[in-house]
Amino acid sequence: MDWTIGVDIGGMSIKAGLVDDNGKIIKECREKTAPNADACIKNLLNQINFLLDSNQLTIKEISGIGVGCPGAVSPDTGIVDFLPNLGWVNVPLVKKIQEVFEVPVKIANDASVAALAEATYGVAKEYNNCLMFTLGTGVGGGMVLDKKLYDGGYGRGGELGHIVLDINGEPCTCGRRGCVETFVSATALIKQTKRAMLSDKDSAMWRYCEGNIEKVSGKTAFECAKNGDKTAQKVVDDYVMYLSESIMSFLNVFRPDAFILGGGISLQGKYLTDKVTEYCERFDYGYKSAPKTKILCASLGNDAGIIGASALIK
């Protein structure tokens, strides 16, 4: 058996798992994310030791350790250059791990790792080329070309969420305006839903939220649209337009076999992908005469981080 360890660093917790050569997590552990890099790394090393000990394995039986990390990371140097949510700056993470465990260690951005997981073991495993949006608080992106992760020079590519849709649009966290993220993230969808509710006090979305607009989530408009609420349907239609237009820009550049949607909004499943596919077929330049790209929802859920990190070792 070919064992690897995958580590998924998040803002709230760090998850680590022992993964077999079929992409199955055999054992998993989780630690609350510590307040500084040194404490996080100490916990991470303890988690790896726990996985080894609880499965009666030695480090020599492990092919390597992969790490998925948010923020700006440099796969070539193994350094986490900037992780703003945790305050990390120039942290030599790979070196720190290899000082304790003498095995190959690789690192990549967490969104890229999620795409690699879906392309290797998940919904897109049958395809050679795929791209991915993770639709969460922001919009992460990943590209797998010829079954290999492509993250651009110095690991700084794959920022699919920061292509500009409207140069005069809303400010984005990256410092620009009108990025894809400002239109299709869960944060953006919640803003769009609230605006629609404020303009229509009779919308069923108010009842769905029990009259409290602060209870609006990424599900609100979708669930009410399914039940026939016209205002909710307009929110969903606009969201699908923004998402589809964003996707089509990448289809016309890469023409991948599959485009994967991850994050909480992707739980809408075929209700979402059918609408996006229909839009792309109606409006995409060259779509009708070109090989069609499958629009798919991610299948690995919260396991994608660990599985994708482990796949960095393959």
Q: Does one domain contain both 105 and 159?
A: no
Whether 125 maps to a domain, the answer reads: no
Exposure b/e, 52-85, CB count within 10 A at least 16 = b? beeeebeeeebbbbbbbbbbbbbbebbbbbebee
pTM, two decimal places: 0.93
- pLDDT beneath 50, residues of the chain: none
pLDDT of 285 reads 65
pLDDT of 155 reads 83
Whether 80 maps to a domain, the answer reads: yes
pLDDT of 206 reads 98
Q: Does one domain contain both 168 and 185?
A: yes
Q: How many domains does the chain have?
A: 2
Q: Does one domain contain both 140 and 266?
A: yes
Residues 6+ away with beta carbon under 8 Å from 224: 203, 204, 205, 208, 231, 232
Q: Does one domain contain both 150 and 259?
A: yes
Q: Does one domain contain both 289 and 162?
A: yes
> Cβ(259)–Cβ(118) under 8 Å?
no
> Cβ(88)–Cβ(80) under 8 Å?
yes
Q: Does one domain contain both 274 and 152?
A: yes
Task: Give the DSSP H or E segment for 62.
Answer: strand 62-69
pLDDT of 156 reads 83
Euclidean distance between CA atoms 130 and 116, whole angstroms: 9
pLDDT of 268 reads 97
- Give tens-digit pLDDT for 255-284: 999 999 999 999 999 999 999 999 998 887
* Residue 30 one-letter amino acid: R
Q: Does one domain contain both 204 and 274?
A: yes
pLDDT of 174 reads 87
pLDDT of 289 reads 75
Euclidean distance between CA atoms 207 and 101, whole angstroms: 55
DSSP 289: T
Q: Which domain holds residue 21?
A: 3-120+303-311
